[in-house]
Amino acid sequence: MENKVDFFEQLRKLPTSCISDALDMLGINGGCELIRPLTQGMALVGPAFTLQYEQVKEGEKAPAGEFIDEVPAGSVVVIANGGRYCTVWGDLLTIAAKQKGIKGTVIDGCCRDATSIIQMNYPIFTKGTYMKSGKNRVKLVGKQIPVRIGNTIVHPGDVICADDSGVIVIPQEVLPEVVEKALAVEIMEQQIIRDLREGISMKDARERHNYNNFALLLNK
């Protein structure tokens, strides 16, 4: 588990595109479509703490979900709300999350209190913003179970990485391989950038550094 923290350190320096390329090499599609940063410049890395919400029945009462006290420091809260247009995150949860050292929140759905959350600079990745509460509209039905975010299944402890391009999920069982491959991609791309800056053509730079066959090269 010590290693995991080192992996997180390395992932924090990598764009989601390199991580995605590493997942592609393993045939894993970890992207979460249509989930975007609440505002520009947000980024996060950490293990998922997952939550499943469901719609309530007509007239059923449902309080706000109780979970934040259980989330360990360093985690990323991952809320599966089926893209519903009511909110499962706001400023109270944000303040609690910051107090606890939680790294950020990913929602297949909406958050509210966008103005104050942006001021607090807490990383949220979500389908959008709205102000209607989820209270009495949806209910928390599962904690730390596999959930779907966009088109990807997230298991508790899977590693969530996000930046301005979006959110990607690394299954925890392939974490060491993915970090190794993503670092190799990043180094190869830095070499291409150096070549481009020296006036070498893209075609030549890609060939010199095996851009198109890099996966094969790594798997040798």
Residue 79 Cβ vs a copy of itself, minimum distance, rounded to whole Å: 15
Q: Which is nearer to a copy of itself, 3 or 39 (CB)?
A: 39
DSSP 41-80: T--EEEEEEEEEEEEPPTT---PPP--GGGPPTT-EEEEE
Q: How far apart are CA 4 and CA 121, in angstroms?
A: 25
> Which positions touch a copy of itself (CB under 8 A)?
15-17, 19-21, 24, 29, 31, 33-34, 36, 39-41, 43, 63-64, 66, 68-69, 85, 87, 90-93, 95-96, 99, 112-116, 118, 128-133, 135-136, 163-166, 168, 189, 192-193, 196-197, 199, 201-203, 206, 211-212
Nearer to a copy of itself by Cβ, of 91 and 177: the residue is: 91
Instruction: With beta carbons less than 8 A apart as the criterion, state whether 11 and 181 touch.
Output: no
What DSSP element (H or E) covers 11? helix 2-12
What are residue 161's DSSP bridge partners? 45, 168
Determine if residue 91 is labeled as part of a ligand binding site. Answer: yes
Closer CB to a copy of itself, residue 47 or residue 166?
Answer: 166
Nearer of residues 92 and 145 to a copy of itself, judged by Cβ: 92
**Is 197 known to sit in a ligand binding site?**
no
DSSP code per residue over 73-128? TT-EEEEEEEEEEEES--HHHHHHHHHHT--EEEEEEEE--HHHHHHHT--EEEEE
* Residue 140 near residue 63, CB atoms below 8 Å: no
Quote the CA–CA distance of 76 and 135 in Å, as a whole number. Answer: 22
Residue 63 beta carbon to a copy of itself: minimum distance, rounded to whole angstroms = 4
Question: Least CB distance from residue 202 to a copy of itself, whole Å?
Answer: 5
Would you say 40 or 219 has its CB closer to a copy of itself?
A: 40
Q: Kindly tell me which of 3 and 132 has the beta carbon lying closer to a copy of itself.
A: 132
- Say whether 90 counts as a known binding-site residue: yes
Minimum distance of a copy of itself from residue 176's CB (angstroms): 20
Shortest CB 132 distance to a copy of itself, Å: 5
- 21 marked as binding residue: no
State how far the Cα of 160 lies from the Cα of 152, in Å rounded to an integer: 11
- 8 by DSSP, 3-state: which? helix
| Burial (CB count <10 Å: 0-12, 13-18, 19+), residue 12 | middle
Query: Has 112 been labeled as part of a binding site?
Result: yes
Give the residue ranges of the annotated binding site for Mg(2+). Answer: 113
Annotated binding site for substrate: which residue ranges?
A: 90-93, 112
Binding site, annotated residues: 90-93, 112-113
